């Protein structure tokens, strides 16, 4: 294993990383541990496979504000032959020790640049008003930038959430639960069930609440299942991809819900007809919404007849969700570089 090959492996992991940069950070921290503590053997995966997740999480919390929630198996993909297996890490470790941490500095400089890219890419929404914001331009700005393109699914999800939650709120949509079979014996015998599970009782046989949608949370590329759910019984899968019959079938099989809404980049009419026919009259796919439809709805919400009621609310929700999802703290990097001594190194190409 030579230096160039090892660096190529590292660059591949960096290039494929989403903005949260979990895998590159894990590499940097286990190299830092090897250099400073000297209590691991980079050639022996078992000396750092599990503990390196903790070292990574400490840095992730500092700069990203969150930690990886992916399965252990997905996290361990970092050590696969096409990523950074022990042979690669051993060579990177040698380079890193000989240069007093240049490989670590290289990774963290890439993270700083990625967060700066994200900050710049998000300025269009954080500084926009309802007259200037253009949904298509906003989404396209992520697909055009290689450093941001792997986060476009999350941006797409946030775009959907901001619109749906605002419309439900402004329309003041209510949903209800009602006991139709008022059986005094059953209600009396299972009063604790109806009260604790349904919030209902003999005196209160029906209950209404505000309709809402919820984002499931931070997920990763290998995670499957729903992205958003609604308290009125709908599960939502949101992916910035073109829908095919095969993908629709995969989605329906992954989500345990009777009503599924798919939001996607595009869906040809014949594919949509095929998908809906495939699931027949008991279709679990309630509807398919495309980016074109979202664009039309955003245009109406921002500049249509109800824009004064909807526009600012949508942009505020969009900005809030973005800040939570991508809490970049690039201002701390200077202090961090000085703490580690990276500021004294030349690490442009280590």
Contacts of 93 by beta carbon, 8 Å cutoff, 6+ apart = 31, 34, 35, 42
Per-residue pLDDT of the chain (350 residues; tens, 9 = 90+): 899 999 999 999 999 888 889 999 999 999 999 999 999 999 999 999 999 999 999 999 988 888 988 889 999 999 999 999 999 999 999 999 999 999 999 999 999 888 887 777 677 677 888 999 999 988 888 888 776 777 888 889 999 999 999 999 999 999 998 888 777 788 788 888 888 988 888 788 899 999 999 998 644 444 456 789 999 989 998 988 888 777 777 777 777 777 888 898 888 767 766 666 665 534 677 888 999 999 999 999 999 999 999 999 999 999 888 888 876 656 788 899 999 999 999 877 67
Identify the pLDDT of residue 350: 73
- Domain ranges in the chain? 3-98
Identify the pLDDT of residue 40: 97
Q: How far is CA 309 from the centre of its chain?
A: 29
Between CA 296 and CA 350 the distance in angstroms is: 48
> Measuring CA to CA, how many Å separate 56 from each of 27, 63, 117?
8, 11, 22
Residue 230 burial class via C-beta count within 10 angstroms: exposed 0-12, middle 13-18, buried 19 and up: buried
Cα–Cα nearest to 328, from 207, 187, 161, 147: 147
Contact, 1 vs 88, CB < 8 A? yes
**Paired tokens of 246:** 């095969």
3-class SS of residue 228: strand
Identify the pLDDT of residue 187: 78
Identify the pLDDT of residue 27: 98
How much is the pTM? Answer: 0.78
Between CA 238 and CA 156 the distance in angstroms is: 7
């Amino acid at each position: 294993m030579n230096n160039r090959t090892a660096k190529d492996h590292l660059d591949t992991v960096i290039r494929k990383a989403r903005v949260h940069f979990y895998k590159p950070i894990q590499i940097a921290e286990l190299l830092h541990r090897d250099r400073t503590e000297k209590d691991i053997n980079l050639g022996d995966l078992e000396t750092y496979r599990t503990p390196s997740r903790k070292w990574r999480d400490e840095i992730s919390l500092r700069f990203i504000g969150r930690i990886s929630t992916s399965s252990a198996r997905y996290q361990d993909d970092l050590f696969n032959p096409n990523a950074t297996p022990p042979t690669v890490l051993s060579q990177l470790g040698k380079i890193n020790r000989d240069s007093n941490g240049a490989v670590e500095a290289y990774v963290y400089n890439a993270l700083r640049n990625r967060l700066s890219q994200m900050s710049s890419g998000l300025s269009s929404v954080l500084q926009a008003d309802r007259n200037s914001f253009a949904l298509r331009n906003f989404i396209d700005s992520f697909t055009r930038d290689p450093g941001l393109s792997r986060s476009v699914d999350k941006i797409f999800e946030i775009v959907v959430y901001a619109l749906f939650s605002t419309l439900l709120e402004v329309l003041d949509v209510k949903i209800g639960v009602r006991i139709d079979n008022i059986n005094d014996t059953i209600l009396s015998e299972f009063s604790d069930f109806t009260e604790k599970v349904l919030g209902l009782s003999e005196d209160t046989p029906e209950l209404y609440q505000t309709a809402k949608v919820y984002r499931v949370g931070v997920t990763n590329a290998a995670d499957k299942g729903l992205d958003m759910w609604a308290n009125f019984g709908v599960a939502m899968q949101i992916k910035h991809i073109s829908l095919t019959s095969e993908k629709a079938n995969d989605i329906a099989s992954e989500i345990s819900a009777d009503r599924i809404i798919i939001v996607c980049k595009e869906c040809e009419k014949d594919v949509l007809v095929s998908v809906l026919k495939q699931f027949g009259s008991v279709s679990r796919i309630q509807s398919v919404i495309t980016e074109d439809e979202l664009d039309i709805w955003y245009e109406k919400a921002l500049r249509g007849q109800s824009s004064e009621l909807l526009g600012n609310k949508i942009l505020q929700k969009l900005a809030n969700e973005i800040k939570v999802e991508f809490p970049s703290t690039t201002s701390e990097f200077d202090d961090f570089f000085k703490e580690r001594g990276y500021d004294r190194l030349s690490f442009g190409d280590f």
